[in-house]
Amino acid sequence: MPGEIKGWDRNQMAARAAEELEDGMYVNLGIGIPTLVANYVGDKEITLQSENGMLGMGPFPYEGEEDPDLINAGKQTITELPKTSYFDSSMSFAMIRGGKIAAAILGAMEVAENGDLANWMIPGKLVKGMGGAMDLVAGVGRVIVVMDHTNKHGDSKLLKECTLPLTGKGVVDRIITNLGVLDVVEGGLKIVETAEGVTEDELRAATEATIVN
């Protein structure tokens, strides 16, 4: 049963994703597990971009110090840092589309072996919109996806082809799941490492996408 393989939990996936970040990088973190990545950057000097118009995002405010004029892209109250700068939305996406942001770490519903990403829409279900996801995956230097390897029925979310409407075509560079780390390469996905307690055979068995050696 694929459901029996556990591998990394949410925090371990976030910690593994944080290893992708290098000192000095400007980074955009998506909602969900990607947000947790900020807790694991350690001593590295990472500047977080929030696409609603801020570089140098700080932690949540102390109770009573919330400022309605200071929120992140998830509309949560946050704080600023000494290095913070603010700008308007067109400037924000100039730095995203213009390739100035080194990496984006995002969640996904499906990733295909050619790097196609689907994370914004399930036809027939409530559609909320793509927000800034399409701009991010089209523009940033490196797209790292953090996601569960399988859905709750145990079916692979790493597919030969996406079934859901795309967020971007051929945009994903690296996938971090609860079972391991895979890169999008010529011809399919390449296993970079497996999570603790997960064998390469188990990871292969849980993956629909072509695995290349």
Partner 1 sequence: MKKVYGSAAEALDGLLFDGMTIAAGGFGLCGIPELLIDAMVESGVKDLTIASNNCGVDGFGLGKLLDTKQIKKMMSSYVGENAEFMRQYLSGELELEFNPQGTLAERMRAAGAGIPGFYTKTGVGTVVAEGKETKVFGGEEYVLEEGIFADLSIVKAWKADTSGNCVFRKTARNFNPPAAMCGKVCVMEVEEIVQPGELDPDHIHLPGIFVHRIIKGEHEKRIEQRTTRKREDV
Q: Which of 20, 51, 110, 113 is catalytic?
A: 51
Structure tokens at 202: 């188990």
For residues 28 and 48, is the Cβ–Cβ distance under 8 A? yes
For residues 148 and 157, is the Cβ–Cβ distance under 8 A? yes
Confirm whether 51 is a catalytic residue. yes
Taking CB under 8 A as the rule, does residue 18 contact partner 1? Answer: no
Min dist CB 157 to partner 1, Å, is 19
For residues 56 and 83, is the Cβ–Cβ distance under 8 A? yes
The binding track of 84-123 with respect to partner 1, each residue x by CB under 8 A or -, is --xxxxx-xx--xx------------------x-------
Taking CB under 8 A as the rule, does residue 20 contact partner 1? Answer: no
Taking CB under 8 A as the rule, does residue 141 contact partner 1? Answer: no
Q: Rg of the chain's alpha carbons, rounded to an integer?
A: 17
Residue partners of 152: CB distance under 8 A and separation at least 6: none
DSSP lists the bridge partners of residue 111 as 117, 158
Min dist CB 32 to partner 1, Å, is 14
Interface pick for partner 1 out of 168, 174, 180, 202 (rule CB under 8 A): 168
The binding track of 56-75 with respect to partner 1, each residue x by CB under 8 A or -, is ---xxxxxxxxxxxxxx-xx
In angstroms, how far is the first alpha carbon of the chain from the final one?
A: 25
Q: Which amino acid is at 64?
A: G
For residues 95 and 49, is the Cβ–Cβ distance under 8 A? yes
Min dist CB 139 to partner 1, Å, is 7
What residues are annotated to the active site? 51
Residue ranges that bind partner 1, judged by CB under 8 A? 50-54, 59-72, 74-78, 80, 86-90, 92-93, 96-97, 116, 126-135, 138-139, 165-170
